[in-house]
Structure 1
Amino acid sequence: MLESRIARAAAKLWYTKMLYVQQSVPVPRDSPVIVSGAADPDRVLLIGNGPTHGWGTVTHELALTGQLSRALTRRTTRPTDIRYIGDEMMPIAGVQAWLGDTALAPYDLVLVVLSMNDAIRLTPADDYRTDMARLLDRLASETKPSARVVIAGIQDVDSLPEYRGVAARLGQRRADLLNAVTRELVGRYDGFQFLEHTAPPAEPGRPYGSPALYAQWSDVFADVCAPALDEARALDPYRFQHELAEHEWQWKPGERLMAAPGGHEALNRLAQEAKAHFGADAAWISLMDGDRQFFIANTTPQGRAAPAELSVCQYTVQGDEPLIIENTFRDERTKDSPMNDLGQLRFYAGAPIRNEQGENVGTFCVLNVLPKSRGSISEEDLTEWAARAEGEILKLAATTETPTTADHDATV
């Protein structure tokens, strides 16, 4: 038991190290919704991490989301709308929070591509079984009777650039175990299918991902998902209309700010400068709106958004003063968050960002892998940097125009 705990601790630290090695790899931060504009498209919900995260691309149009939409349309000859929910930082334990109150009934097919990060972090099989069963139960109860559900297995661990030798062997054994659990659970549901697959080879010189790689991935998934969509449509002669709606913003300027392709140079630069200034492992500037945290500038490989309920920043926006947590693994508010298991970011220091009316709408924060004392950072300094971020956000909010429909379509 002690040996397994030590192995898992080492595996989690290795995964975290790999994430920070990949900080310079582009990831999409635009809308994860692909809309055809057709009157009666096939509607697909993609839930996942790993290849669904879009490593090596800057837009979901070129990542798996957009590539899969086109691959399915080529096979079915029908337009396909896809909404992607997930992130590299989403473990199986966090899927319910990522889904939030998403309505599942409108979708003809749900494709789940999960758990590589659970395999290489050696997530215990019993914990995995509990969380996967919860997800499958929800999909079974909330999707319409005609909907098909495809659960993809975990691909070979050595398809990841940094996983060779002992790390790959340990991860592969866990992946095989978790796949066996998933296969057995999926077999309990009508209309569900387990997909065993092999990762396509990476494009030379682009080991983390590329549009060409996601085009190959989309073919792998479309081979199974296209027939499933045909079956779903045959079973649902009385289809109803439904738009793939995005997040309904409470602070409307936030929507305009997040719609900017490539983000905002001044805020990206500010986050990088803050990381260096505070000697931090990560820094981000985020907008907190409804049940989501949106990363408007981020030095980590996280994507566009994450559930607010899993974020330390939810506590920052609830107050008026800076929040400093010396060790998130021991603080009562944060110690049980599944995000701890992935990012391994123990030290947190954040300050709220306010809108024109003085309401808290976001956060500026810096984070470290190792715990630090409260006195290691100046609250005044933290507040000053948050004020700089706030000033830039308010300036952008006042000058950024609402994107036109054409502009929006071009960026999703």
Structure 2
Amino acid sequence: MEIVVTTASLVPITRVVMNQKYRTLPRRANSVPRPVDGAHQSTPAKVSHSILLLGSDYAISWGVRTHALALPGHLARELPTRTGVGADIDVLSTAGMGMGDVETLVSDRDLQQYDAVVVLTGVGDAFTLAPTDRWESRVRGLIATLRSEMTPAAPILLVGTEAPSHVKICRTREDGLTDQWAHTLNALSSRICDDTPGAFYTEPTPVPATALDPVDLIRFKSPAAHRAWAASIARQLNVILDRPRPISAEKAEQPQDVSQRLTALNRLGILYTAPEARFTRVVRRARDLFGTEGAAFSLITDRHQWNKAMVGFDLSEVSIQESFCATTVQSGRPFVVEDAWADPRITFDTFVRFYAGFPIMAPDGTRVGALCVFDANPRSASTIDVGYLEELAAEIGRELAESPTVPTPAVA
């Protein structure tokens, strides 16, 4: 009992000291790598869950230069392996913010679009020994705000605060007072979520040593650490998520103007670039699966169809007026032509008689191209399983989602 009293008596003094130290952390944090790409990751699919990561800590994606290797990218890949559908991950984060600051991030955000919100923050609160009554008030206030703005069925997942000693720039003793304070705040958060319908708590994820190599151990946060957190969050989301809302009507088939597509193509940075094995591999599999003469992954600009990957034929570019894939992209639906020479929808001369294509989406949901198979001879539509074609198109979409987006010159 004397130890508890002594420790408690030191809290006010320690709180002052830690608040002073906390002001020096931004200088240390400035040397830590952070992503330079957009804070959105996606595993494109016909049906997807839309998730918002909110707060600081792992939501910042410390330690890497692209969100594809951080929590958003890993979660976009981990969640579909459990739910069987796609995932769209948005991030709203600010370094150094505490639980009391999180509400400001969503003040002008439409939360109705999300199937779940994941809150990650609190290391700063634990480091500065935030009073427990203040913490409780802020957690309850944030949950109430989110609940009032989200759809009734959408859950809130509160991820426990990581021990400050695990954050290298904090330089605190393992199992010291700040770590104990994090444990206290987490226990309080867990009780609050137990008492609040639609709110759920999950413990912070210890990254197993076996998952880290020597380079990981000296990094601030490595891709392996982000992957471990993503797997833990995905497991919890899989339990609490409602059935996903189909995006076919909302995104896949909605009208898109040309400027929207050009912007998405510019951000991807793959237009008019060299062939890549990751795309050619999928295109070759499509040709082999359907037994057609050719197959291609095509990107559609305002003037041309440009084939990023092609097997069976050597044709890099087609005018937009003679492009089957342009119709596929514009419609947002699978497009099958049994015999172009006898189809009134085809108004141009072409050596291609049979065509089947499925649209491909960029990580932001914009249709930018198509995966297609084709023949110089007519074929029945019954020879094509559109479901398989969709799966292969989604695989290319996942490759696009895992690539860092880069600024490129405007397409011609």
TM-score (norm 1): 0.55
| Alignment partner of 1:64 is 2:76 | no
Match of 2:220 among 195, 201, 208: 208
Partner of 2:142: 135
- Equivalent residue for 2:33? 26
Q: 1:40 to 1:197 in 2, by over 3 A?
A: same
CA distance in structure 1 between the aligned counterparts of 2:187 and 2:235, rounded to whole angstroms: 22
* Equivalent in 44, 55, 76 of residue 51 of structure 2: 44
Shift of 1:164: 5.9
Residue 224 of structure 1, aligned match among 227, 230, 236:
236
Q: Distance in 1 between matches of 2:109 and 2:28?
A: 33
Distance 1:36 1:223 in 2: 17
Question: Does the Cα contact within 8 Å between 1:59 and 1:411 map onto a contact in 2?
Answer: yes
Structure 1 residues 240 and 181: CA distance shift in structure 2, 3 A: farther
The amino acid that maps onto 2:214 is P
Structure 2 counterpart SS, 1:94 = helix
Give the Cα–Cα distance (whole angstroms) in 2 for the partners of residues 29 and 162 of structure 1: 21
The residue aligned with 2:17 is 10
Letter in 1 for 2:193: V
Q: Summarize deviations over 1:311-348 as a string: whole Å, max 9, x none.
A: xxxxxxxxxxxxxxxxxxxxxxxxxxxxxxxxxxxxxx
Structure 2: which 5+ residue stretches go unaligned? 1-7, 252-262, 270-366, 370-399, 406-412
Is the Cα–Cα contact under 8 Å of residues 68 and 222 in structure 1 kept in the other structure?
yes
- Structure 2 CA distance for aligned equivalents of residues 154 and 54 of structure 1: 15
**Is 1:190 matched up with 2:164?**
no
**How well do the aligned residues superpose, as a CA RMSD in angstroms?**
3.5
8 Å Cα contact 1:67-1:218 kept in structure 2 = yes
Contact 1:156 1:199 in 2 (8 A): no
Cα distance per residue 1:354-386 (max 9 Å; x no partner): xxxxxxxxxxxxxxxxxxxxxxxxxxxxxxxxx
Pick aligned residue for 2:119 from 104, 107, 112: 112
The alpha-carbon distance between structure 1 residues 167 and 12, as it changes in their structure 2 partners (threshold 3 A), is farther
- 1:118, CA displacement in angstroms? 1.0
- Displacement of 1:36 after TM fit? 3.8
d(CA) in 2 for partners of 1:242, 1:101: 21
Separation (CA, whole Å) in 1 of partners of 2:112 and 2:247 = 11
Aligned residues of 2:49 and 2:87 also touching (Cα < 8 A):
yes
Opposite residue 155 of structure 1, the aligned amino acid is: E
Partner of 1:294: none
Whole-Å separation in 1 of the counterparts to 2:34 and 2:202: 26
1:161 to 162, 168, 172: 168
Identity, % of aligned positions: 26
Identify unmatched segments of 5+ residues in structure 1. 244-254, 262-403
1:279-324, Cα deviation, whole Å (9 max, x unpaired) = xxxxxxxxxxxxxxxxxxxxxxxxxxxxxxxxxxxxxxxxxxxxxx
Whether the aligned pair in 2 keeps the contact of 1:203 and 1:213 (CA below 8 Å) is no
Bigger Cα displacement from structure 2, 156-165 vs 79-88: 156-165
Matched, 1:75 2:82: yes
SS in 2 for 1:35: strand
State how far apart, in whole Å, the 2-side matches of 1:10 and 1:77 are: 49
- 2:51/2:89 contact within 8 Å kept: yes
What is the alpha-carbon distance in structure 2 between the residues aligned to residue 115 and residue 240 of structure 1? 37
The offset of 1:6, in angstroms, is 3.4
Residues of 2 paired with 1:238 and 1:211: CA distance?
31
Residues 180, 216 of structure 1: CA spacing in aligned structure 2 closer, same or farther, 3 A cutoff?
closer
Structure 2 Cα separation of the partners of residues 89 and 260 of structure 1: 30
3-state SS, counterpart of residue 24 of structure 1: coil
Q: Which has the larger radius of gyration?
A: 2
The match for 2:95 is 88
| Alpha-carbon shift at residue 221 of structure 1 (Å) | 1.3
Question: How many residue pairs get matched?
Answer: 257
Contact 2:46 2:246 in 1 (8 A): no
**Equivalent residue runs for 1:391-402 within 5 Å:** none
SS at match of 1:89: coil
Report if the CA contact (8 A) 2:126-2:185 is conserved.
yes
Structure 2 counterpart of 1:220, which letter? S
Residue equivalent to 2:152: 145
Q: Given residue 57 of structure 1, which amino acid in structure 2 is its aligned partner?
A: V
Check conservation: 2:205, 2:228, Cα contact below 8 A. Answer: no
For 1:400-411, list aligned pairs within 5 A: 410-411=403-404
Q: How far apart are 1:86 and its partner, in Å? A: 1.2
* Matched residue type, 1:204: P
How big is the shift at 1:14? 2.5
Relative to structure 1, is the Cα distance of residues 405 and 2 closer, same or farther in structure 2, using a 3 angstrom cutoff?
Answer: farther
Is the 8 Å Cα contact of residues 47 and 84 (structure 1) preserved in structure 2? yes
CA gap of 1:165–1:80, structure 2 versus 1, over 3 A, is closer
